[in-house]
Structure 1
């Protein structure tokens, strides 16, 4: 039977899952996971995410082009992504955004394609999955220029302060929290700031995620991250809120289902 855990950000298309991808998905329910959201970062991975979502009822998909990969994006690829988004198993556009930390695509291109993909998401009324790293002010300036996002979205892997989180929420976004809320040694101040965000935002605006295979939480750091480890991120959120794990997991699931318009998934 499925439980109340939901992982709103996975990359099971990654080659690190080639040997056991099917097993991981088929064991989601026995690990207490109701469903996962498989996130594309370019056209090929968006296609793979959608294929997984079409194959397994406990998987949903998003399609889009990550800021690292927009250097290879063109209008033909965007048209192909738009066609994928017509599939009812696609519940969001993303992940899209700005990454000025690694700068793997030129910044002007990142900004251009971020805007184009935002306008696409707005036009089809789908939620947006945002990737923002060392570009929060720049991303928010663009987002605020559109006024609001009625279909909402999520600032995935959020790692900034309370004021920044409030600006996302004012636009209609949720805040995605994953493994970093469990960390203790790397940057204690950043972790405490993230816990403060979790404590002080309206609970209805929080989501739990892994970003697997990246950002493995404590106490399993050093291993490949996977959906089953979302329980550690959710436990970290629960500790910050001083709530029970069960209450937190149930609420986060409802938040995710409300944002992505996902119905309860049958136990198959």
Structure 2
């Protein structure tokens, strides 16, 4: 079974002591490539550096809603410069998080919109984080009209109604570890409804570890558990379709 992890955070300190071993493990587990995703300017730079070092690692750069309040005045200019690296394939992780509200909501919205404008200008897909803000995020995305390069709603966690709305808007739904959790029937219903042609496999490592490793640090090698659960839900092996989706969205040919 060939798989891809379309959302990892290997630049984070959780992997500082054994990053090389993590990379070696995902190579051994048949992972074709990883989209490693930045959350602020500092670790977006680190994400780009990791992509330069490892052939199978590609970079998404952006400012997470949690970090919106701390952006430098010229952060868009910095992201634009970083985007010139050939391994940068998306703008993200961007969006709205009204659950934590680590940044004021109006600041989150401003930074989200500014990065959407950048993605449109650069003709790059977007990686969108949404928590307790699906209506607000949807309205912003809809107001921008169709995104030429599309995007993904990362670690999708809303209901079937929202799933269909975002798919209709042209977005993939990122499916991660929670699909394996016993009580997450809502997400399994979403996967059945939208089908394999509208989803991507991801880990969000070091977070959202799938069963049977829930409670431990997540890593790209565990994306296979996500894909196997998706296979079980849909009723046949969809791994090649998930790879095709990821290649199509991010323009990766590995």
Normalising by structure 1, report the TM-score. Answer: 0.92
Q: After superposition, where does 1:228-247 map in structure 2 within 5 Å? A: 228-243=221-236, 247=237
1:151 counterpart = 2:149 = yes
Q: After superposition, where does 1:188-203 map in structure 2 within 5 Å? A: 188=183, 191-203=184-196
Alignment match, 2:110: 112
Alignment match, 1:249: 239
> 1:248 Cα shift?
1.8
User: RMSD of the alignment, in Å?
Assistant: 1.0
1:261 counterpart = 2:254 = no
CA distance in 1, matches of 2:230, 2:135: 25
CA distance in 1, matches of 2:151, 2:72: 24
Alignment match, 1:209: 202
CA distance in 2, matches of 1:182, 1:254: 22
Q: Deviations over 1:1-47 (max 9, x none)?
A: xx611000000111110111012113322111111110000011101
CA distance in 2, matches of 1:248, 1:15: 33
Alignment match, 2:49: 51
Q: 8 Å contact 2:7–2:37 — kept in the other structure?
A: yes
1:226 counterpart = 2:219 = yes
Q: Deviations over 1:219-258 (max 9, x none)?
A: 1112110001101111111111111xxx322211111001
> 1:77 Cα shift?
2.0
Alignment match, 1:138: 136
Query: Runs ≥4 in structure 1, deviation > 6 angstroms?
Result: none
Q: 8 Å contact 1:150–1:172 — kept in the other structure?
A: no
Q: Deviations over 1:122-156 (max 9, x none)?
A: 11110000000000000001111011112000000
CA distance in 2, matches of 1:115, 1:222: 34
Query: Of the candidates 109, 124, 127, which is equivalent to residue 126 of structure 1?
Result: 124
Matched residue SS, 2:212: coil
CA distance in 2, matches of 1:229, 1:75: 38
1:83 counterpart = 2:76 = no
Q: After superposition, where does 1:10-21 map in structure 2 within 5 Å? A: 10-21=8-19
Where do 5+ consecutive residues of structure 1 fail to align?
A: none
Alignment match, 1:27: 25
Q: 8 Å contact 2:195–2:234 — kept in the other structure?
A: no
> 1:75 Cα shift?
3.0
Instruction: Report the more deviating stretch, 231-240 or 23-32.
Output: 23-32
